[in-house]
Structure 1
Amino acid sequence: MADDPEEGMLGWDESVFRNEHVFEIDYLPETFHHRDSQMESLKYSLRPAVRGSRPLNVIARGPPGTGKTTAVQKLFSELRAQTRDVQAVRVNCQVNGTRYSVFSRLFEGIFDYEPPSSGISFKRLFEQVTDRLVEQEQVLVVALDDVNYLFYENEASDTLYSLLRAHEEHAGAKIGVICISSDLDLDVIEELDGRVQSVFRPEEVYFPKYDEPEIVDILGERVDRGFHEGVVSAPVLDRVAELTAESNGDLRVGIDLLRRAGLNAEMRAAKSVSKEDVEKAYDKAKYIHLSRALRGLSDSEAALAAVIAEHSGEQAGDVYEAFHEQTDLGYTRYSEIINKLDRLGIIDATYTEVEGRGRSRELTLNYEPDAVLERLE
């Protein structure tokens, strides 16, 4: 009898995934490996909050995808389970890049509903947050995730000043701050105003890149929880880990790569993921940094990224002409956006000598133009 051609193939109602949510960006793993010393340092800094005192401030630094956000989220979850006397609120500064929007998220975290979208001043918003903390005798721990975005928008000093000096405005207010930054070129302390430097004085917790064995260990657990048994073999997992290590050890690349490879296997109606599924998936997963950076851009910033994609390698003055035609924005704002795109790693803006024009910045895209334009659509 001839072999059944459909044997070993997925049925319409079957999936290679046991739990696809394991590969989503907001998934919080039950176990958190290879970050014991960082967790202990964070606990040490926040322990005073449990006793009703102001916690130590912290800067959590490290390359992207090294567990900084996960560490803080797990610690905040433990705090909430242990006591009601501590309010722990994480703010995504890529989305909330102004002092007002940061305090709006703090208001929402404390009151469990959003503040009015208009008609309330920052002073009033600030007072309502601090009044509630004093009234409930609670300590507030704020995690400013991707705090580098506040620096890109020149909002960092004002935001931290309001948080760290809240007790001067309202006696009894106790607030501690964790700044999470993936921009290793950003010196958080040096970039702050002197009035903030004098009161911030943070502990520093560094999150290094994961090495390849650590990546295999962590992704292996995701595989066990997210896929059915036998879907991802050891050689396939090793290849995923290898590609992740090549992507600066960013675990988010590896996690996204596993999900996309699983979807590729399902598209073939296969019951297991092949190395070819992984290689094909990597063509998209490797752009996870780019996609994340582009998502946080305003319309004018995205417009300039698109213009540079079409004029990569040209001088800043020439690029400005094309940008100004589209947006009608002035050169000062244009220069500010260049600096932001440069710090985000989307472009390189390097000074060169131009004959007859002196020094000028050459704007070069760090990605394939099509990859940028496709993700801006």
Structure 2
Amino acid sequence: MVKRLLMWDETIFRDPEVFEMDFVPDQFLFRETQTADLAFQMQPGLRGARPMNSFCRGPPGTGKTTTVKKLFAEIEETTKRLVPVHVNCQIDNTRYAIIAKVYKKLAGHPPQPSGTSFKQVYEAVCRRIQKDDIVLIICLDDANYLLHDNEINNILYPLLRAHEAYGDARVGLIIIFSDMDIDIATAVDARVASVLRTTEVLFPPYTAAEVEEILRMRVAQGFYPNVISEDVLQLVVDRTMRGGDLRAGIDLLKRAGFLAERDARRTVTRDDVCKAYEISQRYHLTSIIRSLRDEEKIVLAVIAEMSGEGAGTAAGEVHAALKKDMKLSYTRYYEIIRKLDMLRLINLDYRIGRGRTRVISLRYDPGIVLDLL
């Protein structure tokens, strides 16, 4: 039997961009409610009024950024009156970096690289809003990175008060957090909270059926026909649900495709997926662990250290081990393990014996978790 191998200039990818993390699909599934809520909040800006402020909250990989980017793209195609600015706070995490990003969007070039203060750039932005008679909508994505050193208050206060110093400076905000424990009302100080008044838009984790449908669509767009069999697709869905982050599944498809191409094969095999998963799960874990607070990382480390071969550990035993090194109330401890369960870093189950005992089992190899921690 003759094997059908790829020639050197052939590929199994119809469109490799489909598997990039910043790709925004034309058909965005299972976030219609969230999209409608955000669109309603921004609607006043289309009429020249100040948009209402929104607070988007949900675990990583639940469509928050894609929803906002898709809405912003539609706004830019529809009107010049409402100007959207997306800021990645993992990268731009100081008030100067954020206002410089806004300035570049409005002016078409960044502010002077040196000798320019935040106040000067801020005033230039406000004057531009007045001069061009526009309304600004700013998305602070991954705003939890602004919680350190009071940066979130330092940037929110002047943006929220812009209309007081500059009467026609209308600014609306979309604030995105990937930390489900954070309450925006308590994360900011009183002077900010009094004028922020956000509407919360919740992004729950995708179900297995939703993940399958989204990945199936990516496969149809990104690969040529018959590259991914139904059996292989189901394996990818299973591996994606283990981590609970859709981005990990999309990355897994891309890596498995590259492995098939490396061997000059026209189809992706289960072995390709398994090999790619070893790399992809590290990508996913790194992203999730980076978003955890210090005390949450300590709890995860203790769980990893106490994890045996496929065996669960009683939640009480983990808490007792933690008490040796840190003061942590059981209430706060239970909040943390519930969060780790929601992020699908652990499984939190019940074991029936003399009573109902909560049992914690790690979803990932303990050695990999400890290495990344």
The TM-score with structure 1 as length reference comes to 0.79
Q: In structure 1, how many angstroms separate the alpha carbons of the residues matched to 2:13 and 2:326? A: 59
- Matching residue's letter, 1:27: F
- Matching residue's letter, 1:287: R
Residues 1:177 and 2:173 are matched in the alignment = yes
Residues 1:121 and 2:117 are matched in the alignment = yes
Residues 1:28 and 2:24 are matched in the alignment = yes
Q: Secondary structure at the match of 2:76?
A: helix
The 1:78/1:346 distance shift into structure 2, 3 A limit, reads farther
The counterpart of 1:164, out of the listed 160, 165, 168, is 160
The counterpart of 1:206, out of the listed 202, 217, 237, is 202
Q: In structure 2, how many angstroms separate the alpha carbons of the residues matched to 1:95 and 1:358? A: 32
- Which contiguous aligned blocks of 4+ residues in structure 1 show a shift greater than 3 angstroms? 289-296, 339-354, 357-360, 366-376
Contact 1:97–1:155 (Cα < 8 Å) also in 2? yes
Q: How many residues align?
A: 323
State the shift of 1:268 in Å: 2.0
State the shift of 1:267 in Å: 1.9
1:141 maps to which residue?
137
1:152 maps to which residue?
148
Q: Secondary structure at the match of 2:39?
A: helix
The counterpart of 2:82, out of the listed 80, 86, 97, is 86
Contact 1:98–1:153 (Cα < 8 Å) also in 2? no
2:264 maps to which residue?
269
The 1:251/1:293 distance shift into structure 2, 3 A limit, reads closer
Residues 1:243 and 2:245 are matched in the alignment = no
The 1:153/1:268 distance shift into structure 2, 3 A limit, reads farther
1:56 maps to which residue?
52
Contact 1:342–1:348 (Cα < 8 Å) also in 2? no
Contact 2:137–2:171 (Cα < 8 Å) also in 1? yes
Contact 1:341–1:347 (Cα < 8 Å) also in 2? no
Q: Secondary structure at the match of 2:150?
A: coil
Gaps in structure 2 of 5+ consecutive residues: 303-318, 329-344, 346-363
State the shift of 1:369 in Å: 9.1
Percent identity of the aligned residues? 41
1:299 maps to which residue?
none
State the shift of 1:291 in Å: 3.9
Residues 1:99 and 2:98 are matched in the alignment = no
Gaps in structure 1 of 5+ consecutive residues: 297-338, 361-365
Contact 2:301–2:369 (Cα < 8 Å) also in 1? no
2:225 maps to which residue?
229
Provide the aligned C-alpha RMSD in A: 2.7
Residues 1:17 and 2:17 are matched in the alignment = no
1:280 maps to which residue?
275
Contact 1:58–1:177 (Cα < 8 Å) also in 2? yes
Q: In structure 2, how many angstroms separate the alpha carbons of the residues matched to 1:126 and 1:199? A: 19
